[in-house]
């Protein structure tokens, strides 16, 4: 992973694997293992999964490629890139919106990341030992509605993220994630095997894979689209920023395809691990944001070596959350260092402080602030829904319109084909998708979800 200096030359990713690791590191996170199962659970399971996969393929991949194009073409941060490509136009506001969205996401993301730290600690002291499904639910309920403990872990997480971002990322996190992410993947596979052999697993698998389209509402469709944007880290300039560190010889289409494939695989595997456990332990799939924290400790208890697997798993979940939150913070830090010439350290510290204030409010909204509502939602739910379901798709909409209609085909084709070094066979398809399909689809989902149009 590259870090840029205020003056001097911007750095690049040195290898293809480095790019994939960084982009997949951003994409694969709590969105896959915590958010995907809980949102799928609230939206009826199977039908949600199908709609989700369609959105990833038809909207996610082209939108991701669009961000990479903007980034690599401009070699600049999320705001500077629009300024560089179309000087004097208001398009840079899309980048500004992205930076602001990043703050809001990081705020509630750090709440859940704090939970994973606490669960790592609980795994180490063997606190889940012998607990029933109900008792696990009670453990989570007591913990996440209390005031001090969740805030304590959240702050620890924010400090960890800030420390890595300040240190510069390439020597630390990139080196470790290349090893750690494959291990997380392996443990997830082991969990899947245990989960599908639990008594009553079939019910969970049927819930996840057997579509019941009578359950599909406008909300299901909006949330499937939001989850696709959230999980792929799209719509706020993460991939513009990372794209700006990608060298001219790399194939951007491959990068987008591989990252999207891997991210979706991890989400589905997490679902396959969690839903059988939901039914085996007598829980309800629609319990909401606590879902992963109620089920996973239970699965570990039912397997040999579960004590150790639980510790490693929650630790790696912390790492997965870290590589994602680094990308969230990096968007702001790249913006502040390049546009306002702040030092990397100052930019990181100031941004983290702002996130901490918002984030603590999000954490407390499960407990002492639970009656404080914004348009009927708690602070946490408000931030979660506003960013994923509205701000990210809106950012994505502007980004594809920019690449499809404002940039010219000579510029965009040059990025897809690496200045004609490659054929770019899919260029026509890509152009058609970002010009017509993606904008129309996003607009329709918005209009449908606010009830302006009916199917």
User: Which distant-in-sequence residues (6+ apart) come within 8 Å of 216 by Cβ?
Assistant: 44, 47, 48, 51
Interatomic CA distance for residues 385 and 372, integer angstroms: 16
* Minimal distance, residue 323 CB to ligand TRP, in Å: 8
- Site for ligand TRP, rule CB under 6 A: 26-27, 29-32, 105, 230-231, 233, 236, 238, 324, 327-328, 392
* Minimal distance, residue 266 CB to ligand TRP, in Å: 9
* Minimal distance, residue 422 CB to ligand TRP, in Å: 28
CB-nearer residue toward ligand TRP: 137 or 188: 188
CB-nearer residue toward ligand TRP: 238 or 315: 238
CB-nearer residue toward ligand TRP: 60 or 306: 60
The structure tokens listed for 214 are 């009578």
Other Cβ atoms less than 10 A from the Cβ of 394: the count is 18
* Minimal distance, residue 83 CB to ligand TRP, in Å: 21
Other Cβ atoms less than 10 A from the Cβ of 331: the count is 30
* Minimal distance, residue 382 CB to ligand TRP, in Å: 16
CB-nearer residue toward ligand TRP: 393 or 404: 393
Residues 248, 72: contact at Cβ < 8 Å? yes
* Minimal distance, residue 26 CB to ligand TRP, in Å: 5
Chain centroid to Cα 111, Å, comes to 14
* Minimal distance, residue 235 CB to ligand TRP, in Å: 6
* Minimal distance, residue 7 CB to ligand TRP, in Å: 27
* Minimal distance, residue 272 CB to ligand TRP, in Å: 17
N-term to C-term CA, the chain: 45
CB-nearer residue toward ligand TRP: 321 or 441: 321
CB-nearer residue toward ligand TRP: 230 or 279: 230
CB-nearer residue toward ligand TRP: 136 or 397: 397
CB-nearer residue toward ligand TRP: 141 or 258: 258
**Which of these, 300, 316, 308, lies nearest to 182 by C-alpha position?**
316
Give me the residue whose beta carbon is nearest to ligand TRP: 31
- The residue written with tokens 């546009």 in the block is 339
CB-nearer residue toward ligand TRP: 205 or 238: 238
């Amino acid at each position: 992973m590259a870090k840029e200096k205020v003056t001097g030359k911007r750095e690049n990713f040195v290898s293809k694997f480095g790019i994939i690791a960084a982009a997949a590191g951003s994409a694969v996170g709590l969105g896959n293992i915590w958010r995907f199962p809980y949102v799928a659970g609230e939206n009826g399971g199977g039908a949600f999964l199908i709609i989700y996969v369609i959105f990833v393929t038809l909207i996610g991949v082209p939108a991701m490629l669009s961000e990479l194009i903007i980034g690599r073409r401009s070699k600049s941060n999320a705001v500077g890139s629009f300024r560089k490509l179309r000087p004097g136009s208001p398009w840079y506001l899309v980048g500004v919106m992205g930076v602001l969205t990043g703050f809001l996401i990081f705020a509630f993301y750090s709440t859940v990341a704090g939970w994973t730290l606490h669960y790592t600690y609980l795994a180490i002291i063997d606190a889940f030992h012998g607990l029933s499904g109900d008792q696990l639910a009670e453990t989570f309920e007591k913990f996440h509605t209390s005031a001090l403990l969740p805030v304590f872990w959240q702050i620890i997480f924010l400090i960890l993220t800030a420390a890595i971002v300040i240190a510069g990322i390439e020597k630390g996190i990139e080196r470790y994630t290349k090893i750690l992410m494959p291990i997380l993947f392996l443990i997830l596979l082991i969990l899947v095997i245990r989960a599908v052999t639990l008594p009553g697993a079939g019910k969970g698998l049927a819930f996840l894979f057997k579509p019941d389209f009578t359950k599909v509402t406008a909300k299901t469709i909006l949330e499937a689209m939001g989850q696709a944007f959230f999980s792929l880290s799209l719509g706020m300039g993460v991939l513009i920023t990372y794209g700006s560190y990608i060298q001219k010889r790399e194939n951007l289409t491959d990068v987008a395809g591989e990252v999207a494939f891997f991210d979706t695989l991890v989400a589905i595997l997490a679902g396959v691990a969690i839903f059988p456990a939901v039914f085996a332990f007598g829980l309800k799939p629609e319990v909401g944001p606590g879902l992963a924290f109620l089920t996973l400790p239970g699965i570990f208890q039912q397997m040999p070596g579960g004590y150790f697997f639980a510790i490693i798993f929650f630790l790696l979940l912390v790492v997965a959350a870290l590589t994602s939150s680094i990308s969230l913070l990096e968007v702001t830090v790249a913006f502040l260092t390049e546009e306002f010439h702040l030092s990397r350290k100052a930019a990181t510290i100031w941004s983290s402080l702002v996130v901490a204030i918002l984030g603590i409010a999000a954490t407390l909204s499960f407990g002492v602030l639970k009656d404080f509502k914004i348009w009927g939602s708690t602070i946490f739910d408000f931030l979660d829904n506003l960013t994923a379901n509205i701000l990210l798709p809106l950012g994505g909409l502007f980004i594809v319109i920019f690449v499809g209609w404002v940039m010219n085909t000579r510029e965009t084709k040059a990025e897809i084909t690496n200045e004609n070094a490659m054929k770019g066979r899919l260029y026509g398809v890509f152009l058609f998708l970002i010009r017509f399909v993606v904008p129309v689809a996003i607009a329709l989902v918005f209009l449908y979800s606010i009830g302006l149009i009916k199917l």
